[in-house]
Structure 1
Amino acid sequence: MSSTINNDLYLSSLQKRDTQSGGSSILGKDDFLKILMTQLQNQEPASPMEDKEFISQMATFSSLEQLTNMNSSIDQMISKQSAQTFMLQSGMIGKSVSYTVETTDADGTQQERKTGTVKAVLFENGASKFQLEDGNVVDLSSITKLENKNS
């Protein structure tokens, strides 16, 4: 009885399929498990896979699964932390801020100190920015002073 390996389960076929479908060429835990199962089903009966090889591959699979789970947990934690930071920074709306702006002229780069009132908090590309009532948008790193507008 002769059995053949399905061509779709070869590494090159999996990578080609992922690339064509717009995915990455990196194998995931599902692909690893499919390859391992195919290998077990099609092993030579006269010389089956050694126990050490099987244990090694299962340990690799287990490690891959744990890393995938940890990556997912870290992504969730970062998302929640970003939302919390954004909500905390919304408390700056209506506050007066002093900030520095770098200007370049013929004499070189100079820093100018300006003041404005925060109108809105913006969250772009993982960074907070503050829109002032005069229309300027200021990075958090530029702010040097924060105070109540009534003070």
Structure 2
Amino acid sequence: MNIGPVPPAAATPGSNASLGLQDFMKILLTQLTYQDPLKLMDNQAFMAQMAQFTSLEQSQRLNDKVQQLIENQAALQSVGLVGRTVDVATASGQSAGVVTALLLQGDAPLLSVRLPDGSVLQDIALNQILSVR
């Protein structure tokens, strides 16, 4: 199907990574506006596009919920580390210390680890924890 040129209002590159219902309606209206009157859009093709869009939207929602679940699980696991001795991978090598604080801001929890010499390592990510004792 030849839809012709896309009006500037329907083309918004880089504005948002995911398409919403409004974007789909703009695309659909553009297709209907520029369709060849001798070759009208097939009802089955239209319904297939609707079903594909619905499926895509549901997949995006599911991905968002799974990501939120993973973040919540990481936060719950990190709470159990407070007061525990951990081995941590740092830029200068491996260190052992006690988790003294937990920061739950941002995408992932960050830990503070007090080393035996009294110094504190700040902003330790969960993937830097090598072992928990």
TM-score normalised by L of structure 2: 0.66
Shift of the 141–84 alpha-carbon distance from structure 1 to 2, 3 Å rule, reads closer
2-structure distance, mates of 1:58, 1:73? 22
Give the partner amino acid of 1:61: M
Across the aligned residues of Structure 1 and Structure 2, the Cα RMSD in angstroms comes to: 3.3
Q: Sequence identity, in percent?
A: 20
Tell me how far 1:34 sits from its aligned partner: 4.5
Unmatched 5+ stretches in structure 1:
1-9, 104-110
The residue that corresponds to 2:103 in the other structure is 122
Per the alignment, do residues 54 and 83 of structure 1 end up closer, same or farther by CA in structure 2, a change over 3 Å counting?
same
Partner of 1:6: none
Structure-1 residue corresponding to 2:8: 13
Query: Residue 113 of structure 2 is aligned with which of 132, 142, 147?
Result: 132
Q: Rg larger in 1 or in 2?
A: 1
1:80 to 62, 69, 72: 69
Which structure carries more helix by proportion?
Answer: 1
Task: Please identify, of 58-67 and 29-38, the stretch whose mean Cα deviation from structure 2 is larger.
Answer: 29-38
Count of residue pairs the alignment pairs up = 122
Counterpart amino acid of 1:136?
L
Give the alignment's TM-score, normalised by structure 1. 0.60
**1:121 and 1:130 in contact (8 A); partners too:** yes
Q: Tell me, in whole angstroms, the C-alpha distance in 1 between the residues paired with 2:79 and 2:18.
A: 40
Which whole-Å CA distance do the structure 2 matches of 1:55 and 1:132 have between them? 61
Q: What secondary structure is seen at the aligned counterpart in 2 of 1:11?
A: coil
Deviation at 1:57, TM superposition (A): 2.8
Does the Cα contact within 8 Å between 2:84 and 2:132 map onto a contact in 1? yes
Matches of residues 85-100 of structure 1 in structure 2 within 5 Å? 85-100=74-89
Per-residue deviation, residues 53-83 of structure 1 (Å, max 9, x unmatched): 3311321222012101210122012112211
